[in-house]
Structure 1
Amino acid sequence: MTTGNLAPGRPASSVGTAATSLVSSKRAWGMTGLVVFLYVVNYADKAVLGIIAQPLARELGLTSAQIGLVGSLFFLTFTIGGFLAGPMNKYLTLRWALLVLGVTWSVVMLPLVVSASLVMLIVCRMLLGLAEGPSSALMHTATYSWHAPAKRGLPGAFLVGSASVAKIALAPVLAYVTVQWGWRAAIVSLSLLGAAWVVVWLTGWSEGPFTAKAIKADAEGATAGEPATVEAEPSVPWRSIFISGTFLSCAFLVMVVYALTTVVLTWLPSYFEVGLGYSALQAGSMFALPSIVGLVLMIVSGAVTDRMIQRGAKSRVVRIIVPCVGVLICGGVLTMLPMIDAPIVAVLTLSVGYGFGAIVFPLVNAAISELCPPQQTAGTMGVFLALMAIGGLVAPYTTGIVVDNAASKADGYAMAFQSIGVLAAIAAVLVLVFANPDRDRARIRHLA
């Protein structure tokens, strides 16, 4: 079995070439697995604040608003760091760029273990955010380098779904470690996991054929007298990408859904514990439930939509309408949360809403990657994901304020989730009106 075959009716420059069709599916998915491993480590570093929030708050005397502020400041530097993805991809190989970032994540929280204070917590989390900012765009670029555009929905689902794997597999472990040995042990254990990834990455990773570097090398081979397998695609004006209806409307959509993701990351265990009455260990273990729903729906939607697009379905149908329907379901479900009294029903409702919203990320990311030539993928995804992170900049702190001022903790959390649900539904409607990847790709190519 091979990957990278040409899609009917698509130019070689946009989907692949004869040379890349010889890349084995096994190798492509093996390389994807290495990036997924990195994404698991990456997301565990994000999620650990939610796991340790309550013991950390008790030790340092922090309010909900202060914990929320720490979460939002993380996404401030995360947003800034996102704009560094393009320059890093330009001056470093994907191998070394991601290695530098991975090593940084592994050590940057350790000073908090030695000297715990609110200031140190803020500094460490902000440095972590800056290092993680470029990572998502570079990990998507690394994954896409092994898969043709028509086949990026499923690998994108596995990549984004690895965030769910981190919560499913690691959150209960981190919760147990925190309960048994304290929050410091949870941070140290993540540093050791990062060190293990470094070894695997250095020994196993290489870039795939769907990159600007591969296209350039192929073109140079043609100049030397060998037949060209890749038709090099000219760069397009950055402005034409960023002002397209698809880019702008989808950026707003993922911004809102990412706000939901960051509130889940920062506050879900606290909601389960102090809002719904579960124990700390139960709350940490149940942290995985929304992610299980999200992971299943992302993989199913990624596989089905990839099959649809290879059979000739329009990108707008597959990568715009399908995720928007999911977000509309998410919004409708979350608006009901304040009306639910039974704790287990609230947990299941939130899990279903989160799961349907999560399918937006791999499908919309794949749609955005279609808008630009390969050499501009990292820069385009970097800006797109940096804009997405603005949702994380606002939502955790705002949730903390709502919880501090609500009649009860449970009411505050439910109101916060309900508000995000309403905004998500509005954003989905706007995307349905303004986004069309096929149309915008043609317009952007015309300006090259």
Structure 2
Amino acid sequence: MIRSQRWFVVALFFLAGIINYLDRAALSIAAPLIQQDLHFSHAQLGIVFSSFFIGYALFNFVGGVLSDRLGAKLVFGVAMGVWSIFCGATAFATGIVSLIVLRVLFGMGEGPFSSTNSKMVNNWFPRREVASAIGVISSGTPLGGALAGPVVGYLAVQFGWRWAFVGIMLLGLAWLVLWVTTTTERPHDHPRISGEELALIEAGQAGQEAATLAPDGAAAPLGYYLRKPLVLATAFAFFSYNYVLFFFLSWFPTYLTEAHHLSLRDMSFATVIPWLLGSIGLALGGFVSDGILRVTGKALLSRRIVLAVCLGATAVCVALAGRVASVSGAVTLMSLAIFFLYVTGSVYWAVIQDTVPREHVGGAGGFVHLLANLAGVIGPAITGFIVEATHGAYGSAFVLAGGVAVLGSICSAIWIREPRARALSVKRAW
């Protein structure tokens, strides 16, 4: 694996995922200081959290479509540069309007991350390794969230919250140099790939178009796939995943400082535990799903099992997390919730790879990601208004997040399944 060029691409995306969530989680870690410095109410802070997802959700789709047309390497390189610059520019915010504008632009830069890495995996990997590769890539994001607590917390305490954003911007720009100089869009363009690895990739991708939702004997446009119930069901399940994730990402640090009276330092370290378990869950989920696929020979059955079971477990844990009285209980339950949630993280993208032809993987994945990230637009703001209306109580917000996860589990169990007469039985091909 170390000498494999396809897994080197995964390693680069893994590092990019760490930087992605380190940048994204920085605001929630520094939120108590920013709220005090800029005099924000809970409702205003919720709006600031949500503003990121306006640009982010839109460019999930835009980035996916552009990766199909211009190439994932170019689109992601530009995205990394844009989000790094606007992350650093957060240091210049002077009030709610400037901070909202910067967060929208920052979100636009981060938007293409998942759809472009899905497109690169589609270019570089045989079918039987798709979920595993996406899982490894995605496992970097919670690791970045885990690092955000101590790194941003330390920088904010020692140098002020503004300098913390400048510092982490430099990491993204350094990574961009590595990306530009070491990767290619497709494996056959890479000067150092071995003939053996190239043959393995091409053989593993052969015949994948037959296992899609495409109508027989016709090349369907992108819109055909975006209207399919299976694709829309995947988007809603992904929406429930993101609702819980962004509830945790945006508000759990503030919850610990307000409801359990942790200091910024203690809170920064307490948030590491859920992120670390989430990283394990993300890396594990792809291998579990691909393992079930190898046993059953049915791609969507393997994806449905993981989604329905793990979203249901997430719902129970997150609903209870806001009801316990102790810090240890809240952190433990939220850690379990994030672990089960992240086991599903690569599966949404695997469903798209299983059912959409290669030329539309970026656009379809970006569309699903756009709908999913509407949870980020509304979720943090709804939580802010709930906390404001209940005079600082968070219990109802936790229960609501759990309820959304339940709906995602039910949706997955009902609608994510092999189309009739076109069941995806690939066991004999492997």
TM-score class, shorter-chain normalisation, is 0.7 to 0.9
Which residue number corresponds to residue 415 of structure 1? 396
Structure 1: segments with no counterpart, 5+ residues:
2-23, 212-228, 444-448
Are 1:73 and 1:122, in contact at CA under 8 Å, matched by a contact in 2? yes
Deviates more, 1:128-137 or 1:110-119: 110-119
- The letter for the 1-side match of 2:407 is I
Contact 1:32 1:146 in 2 (8 A): no
Structure 2 distance, partners of 1:92, 1:237, is: 17
Q: Distance in 2 between matches of 1:358 and 1:92?
A: 30
User: Would you say 1:361 and 2:345 are equivalent positions?
Assistant: yes
Name whichever of 295-304 and 268-277 sits farther off. 295-304
What does residue 259 of structure 2 align with?
Answer: 275
The ranges of structure 1 where at least 4 consecutive aligned residues each deviate by more than 4 angstroms after the TM superposition are 229-234, 437-443
Question: May I ask how many residue pairs the two structures share in their alignment?
Answer: 401
SS at match of 2:40: coil
Q: Report deviation, 1:322.
A: 1.6
Asked whether the 8 Å contact 2:46–2:383 carries over to 1, the reply is yes
Residue 149 (structure 1) shift: 2.4
Deviation at 1:142, TM superposition (A): 1.6
Shift of 1:406: 1.6
Deviation at 1:440, TM superposition (A): 9.1
Equivalent position of 1:120 in the other structure: 98
Contact 2:234–2:351 (CA under 8 A) maintained in structure 1? no
TM-score where L is the length of structure 1: 0.84
Matches within 5 A, 1:418-433: 418-433=399-414
Alignment partner, residue 318 of structure 1: 302
**Aligned-residue offset at 1:259:** 1.1
Task: Report the Cα distance in structure 1 between the residues aligned to 2:422 and 2:373, rounded to whole angstroms.
Answer: 24
Partner residue in 2 for 1:58? 36
RMSD: 2.3
Q: Is the 8 A contact 1:164 1:288 kept in 2?
A: no
Aligned counterpart, 2:274: 290
Q: Structure 1 stretch 261-270 or stretch 313-322: which is displaced more?
A: 313-322
Partners of 1:433 and 1:232 in 2: CA distance: 25
Shift in alpha-carbon separation, 1:273–1:318, aligned structure 2, 3 A: same
Contact 1:75-1:390 within 8 A present in 2 as well = yes
Query: Which stretch of the first structure deviates more once superposed, 88-97 or 28-37?
Result: 88-97
Amino acid corresponding to residue 82 of structure 1 in structure 2: N
Amino acid at match of 1:29: W
CA deviation after TM superposition for structure 1 residue 442, in Å: 6.1
Q: Deviation of residue 232 (structure 1)?
A: 9.4
CA gap 1:144/1:289 in 2 versus in 1, 3 angstroms: farther
One-letter identity of the residue aligned with 2:41: T
CA shift at 1:187, angstroms? 0.4
Residue number in structure 1 paired with 2:132: 154
Partner of 1:391: 375
Paired with 1:441 and 1:68, the residues of 2 have a C-alpha distance of 45
Question: Is 1:435 aligned to 2:416, yes or no?
Answer: yes
Report the AA paired with residue 299 of structure 2: S
Q: Deviations over 1:341-389 (max 9, x none)?
A: 1121111111111211222220121012211111111011110111110
| Unmatched 5+ stretches in structure 2 | 190-204, 210-217, 425-430
Alpha carbons of structure 1 residues 46 and 335: separation in structure 2 relative to 1, 3 Å: same
- After superposition, the Cα gap between the structure-2 partners of 1:47 and 1:419, relative to the gap in structure 1 and judged at 3 Å, is same
| Identity rate, percent | 24
What is the CA–CA distance in structure 1 between the aligned matches of 2:383 and 2:118, rounded to whole Å? Answer: 29
The Cα of 1:165 is off from its aligned counterpart by 1.1
CA distance in 1, matches of 2:232, 2:309: 19
CA distance in structure 1 between the aligned counterparts of 2:89 and 2:279, rounded to whole angstroms: 33
